[in-house]
Amino acid sequence: MKETPLSNCERDFLLKAIQEKKRLDGRQTYDYRKLKIMFGTDFGCCFVELGKTRVMAQVSCELVAPKENRPNEGIMFFNIELSPMASPAFEQGRQSELSVKLNRQLERCLRNSKCIDLESLCVVSGEKVWQIRVDVHMLNHDGNLMDAASITAIASLCHFRRPDVGIQGDEVTVYSPDERDPIPLSIYHMPISVSFAFFQQGTYLLVDPCEREERVMDGLLMIAMNKHREICSIQSSGGIMLLKEQVMRCSKIASVKVSEITKLIMKALENDKTARKAGGKCGFAESMPQERITALKKDETAVEMTDVTERANDIVLNAEVPPQTSQSLLVPLPGMGQVGKDLQNSWGIEEYYQDEEEAFNSDEDKQTMMEVGEKQKVHEDVVEISDSEEDEVVILQPEATDRAHKKTSSSSHLKEPAKSKKRHRK
């Protein structure tokens, strides 16, 4: 499936907005979107939300023979899966350019920076080592996949516990979690990637581009760093011309962002640990009631609502979009339709749902039905007018076909073009 093309209008607007230091979602130039880190029931399962971008990672391990040239080192394997689920632009099965780029970048970010002690993964030198496999799945694509993927991957690695092994002579026994506590990986440092989008030949720079910004940008610079301000990898992509000063500036911004994100990951890990100790429920199934995996749930978005000239009003206007003082209890989960007894619907409809039909007069109803049936018999020929591919319009009782035609066309929410193209100016 093809993705929707980007119109010139969107492109021009985005560029203009960027020039005025405005962004689509009301962020500042160097702001990240809201980052959420969650862990699953299993060790090494992590979900990350970066705005609307959603990524999931699962770490797994198995005992394999080591590589010949590195007999006493474990093996790390990274795989980013761009499933068509995330975006219509992603194709099933094929290794696209984007997928190669992301995979290699993740490898460079996590493997080449030697953030994990591979030698501790050796069980029997030259014979058996642990292979740690990180599968990163993109669930929803709204830009900046790389940062989300790197955060997810490192968080899930930190969360992961491998089973303990014992060696008696030649025999290697793998203990189940009940017998011996699983062991965490030894992680030296946490490299986190930060992406910078460049616009108009590098004149403008944005952190954490969203999908539409990514489609307009000239190029991208990804800097992976850890909180000790060590750069683990740099990669520029897209045909841009960078200047040295820009790279230096980006690296400075990256160091700030990385320390923030690292703190967030540590906090999430800490929370998960305490939750687990307390025996609280955690995991994927638990994420349903907490609205973790519904796309229709709504986060509060802060919108800057003033013109630059109206600075004074800024504070008032940085209002959160869904007001928290909601009086209506109609929307238990905004945007989620609920069907069933005693539940309300919340499809964002103006009229309120009234539960009255239980008490309708069945006799009367029958009568009307019979009437209709009767008339059906009289006029056997039923006209169906189908304008649309799917939405069929059926007319029961076609007395005046042409009149009916007129009616349907006016009924099915069609209007004169001038009407529906609503323009009003003040």
Partner 1 sequence: MSSFRCFVLCGNMAGLELLSDQGYRLDGRKASELRKVQARMGVFAQADGSAYLEQGNTKALAVVYGPHEMRGSRSRTLHDRAVINCQYSMATFSMSERKRRPHGDRKSTEMSLHLKQTFEAAVMTQLYPRSQIDIYVKILQSDGGNYSVCVNAATLAVIDAGIPMLDYVCASTVGFVDETPLADLCYAEESGGVSSLALALLPRGGQIALLQMDARLHQDNLEALMDAAMTACKGVSKVLDQVVRQHLQEASLATGD
Partner 2 sequence: MLSRLKAKVGSVLLPGDEFCLDTTGADTISLAGPSKANKVVCGPGLRRSGDRLLVYKSGLLRHKEPNMFWMDAQHKRYVPAKGETVIGIVTSKSGDVFKVDIGGSEQASLSYLAFEGATKRNRPNVQVGDLLFAQLIVANKDMEAELVCVDSAGRANGMGVFGAGGLLFRVSLGLARRLLAPQSDLRAELEQLFPCEMVVGMNGRLWVKSTGVQRTLVLANLLESCENLTPVQRRQLFGKLAQGAL
Among positions 350-369, residues that touch partner 2 (CB under 8 A) are 350-351, 353-357, 360-361, 364-369
Q: Which residues contact 120 (CB under 8 A, 6 or more apart)?
A: 74, 185, 186
Instruction: Give the position of tokens 């609280």.
Output: 280
Q: How far is the CB of 359 from partner 2 (least distance, A)?
A: 9
Q: Binding-site residue total for partner 2 (CB under 8 A)?
A: 106
**Which secondary-structure segment (H or E) carries 217?**
none
Dist CA 34 CA 407 (whole Å): 49
Query: Distance of alpha carbon 348 from its chain centroid, rounded?
Result: 23
Query: Cβ 223 to partner 1, closest distance in Å?
Result: 9
Check: CB of residue 384 under 8 Å from CB of residue 394.
yes
| Chain centroid to CA 121 | 32
By CB under 8 A, which span of 7-15, 55-63, 150-158, 179-187 interacts with partner 2? 7-15
Give the residue from 16, 10, 5, 6 showing the smallest Cα distance to 200.
16
- Subset of residues 313 to 332 that bind partner 1, contact rule: CB under 8 A: none
Which amino acid, 76?
M
Number of residues that bind partner 1 (CB under 8 A): 36
- Interaction between residue 334 and partner 2 (CB under 8 A): yes
Told to check if 248 binds partner 1 by CB under 8 A, we report yes
Q: Does 88 bind partner 2 (CB under 8 A)?
A: no
385 binds partner 1 (CB under 8 A): no
Query: Which of 237/294 has CB closer to partner 1?
Result: 237
DSSP assignment of 291-330, as one string?
Answer: TSS-TT-----B---S-GGGGGGHHHH--BSS-S------
Residue 402 binds partner 2 (CB under 8 A)? no
Which residues on adjacent β-strands are paired with residue 50?
35, 53
Residue 101 within binding range of partner 1, rule CB under 8 A: yes
Nearest Cα residue to 161 out of 292, 286, 272:
272
Of all helices (H) and strands (E), which one includes residue 155?
Answer: helix 145-159
Position among 6, 65, 167, 241 found at the interface with partner 1 (CB under 8 A): 241
Of 120, 335, 401, 406, the one binding partner 2 by CB under 8 A? 335
Q: Which residue has the tokens 């089973």?
A: 163
Rounded Cα gap, residues 214 and 57, in angstroms: 23
Q: Per-residue string for binding with partner 1, 43-82, x by CB under 8 A?
A: --------------------------x-------------
For partner 1, the closer of residues 22 and 101 by Cβ is 101
Contact between 382 and partner 2 (CB under 8 A)? yes
Binding site for partner 1 (CB under 8 A): 69, 95, 97, 100-101, 103-104, 108, 112-114, 219, 221, 225, 228-244, 247-248, 251-252, 255
